[in-house]
Amino acid sequence: MQSKTMHEPFVRVVKRGEMPMKKKVFVRLAAVALALVADALFIFFVTGLNPIDVYKAMIQGTFSTSMRFSWAMRDLASLLLIGIALFNFSAELLSAALLALLWLGGERGMLRDKLSREPLSQASLGVTVLTLVVLQLVACALILLWQPLLRSMNIPFDDTQEVVTQLQNGGIGLRIFLFLVVTTIVPLAEELFFRRVLFGLLLPHLGGMGGAVAVALLFGAAHGFLAGFPALFWMGLCFQWIYWRTGNFCYPVILHSMVNLWGCLLAFLSL
């Protein structure tokens, strides 16, 4: 029998041990300080401006009026939503809090006005539920076809997402926390980023169909789950379609929330 030779990986990733709280605080403060210094050097050598004057202008532009502060928080919330690509729940919680403030207040509730242009209707809710059924059936079929293909090509993959593992094996407190985040904050954050922001940026350049496909591809890739990529791509298309069909941002959020709710229930039932 021919024996297989084991090779050491070129790069090995090892989980870092727990650090004391003081060291964590120091590392983060040092990172912020180094970032400010690096930005100051870039500003000085590239633009020739005084970095101190630039920082003062940034602070005045952010906090001088309530309107400027509201717009700054809106942009900050959008940037924090990038954390969803890495399942950074702390970023999602913070961004959701900022979005809630903008929803209720800000420039006359500007976010609330933009996201709720049309009232909810029973007909559109029915279309959303029907889309959910079709989405789940096609997603299951895609997974059943995709995973055997990966095995036949000897491509390694994890057949369970990390969040599902945490839902199954975590403590009761963690399970409740993840359930609430996955069924409420994640749908709102992801749909706002992919449907409202990203699709809005790509629409003028790729058109409706091209933009929807591109966003769906990015949506699937952002989850980092190879075993479910075709299903995630299909979900992205369905979320985009329901948004395009209804013209109301609430429906893709509702559909996304129901999909995640179904996934959480399956994770709990498989315990």
pLDDT in tens, 74-90: 666 655 555 554 444 44
* pTM listed for this prediction: 0.62
pLDDT band at 113 (very low <50, low <70, confident <90, very high): very low
In this predicted model, what pLDDT tens digit does every residue of 194-243 receive, in sequence order?
A: 887 788 888 888 888 998 999 999 888 888 888 889 999 999 999 999 98
The pLDDT value recorded for residue 22 is 80
- Distance from C-alpha of 178 to C-alpha of 95, rounded to nearest angstrom: 16
Query: Would the pLDDT of 125 be above 80?
Result: yes
CA-based angle 252:249:74, to the nearest 5?
Answer: 120
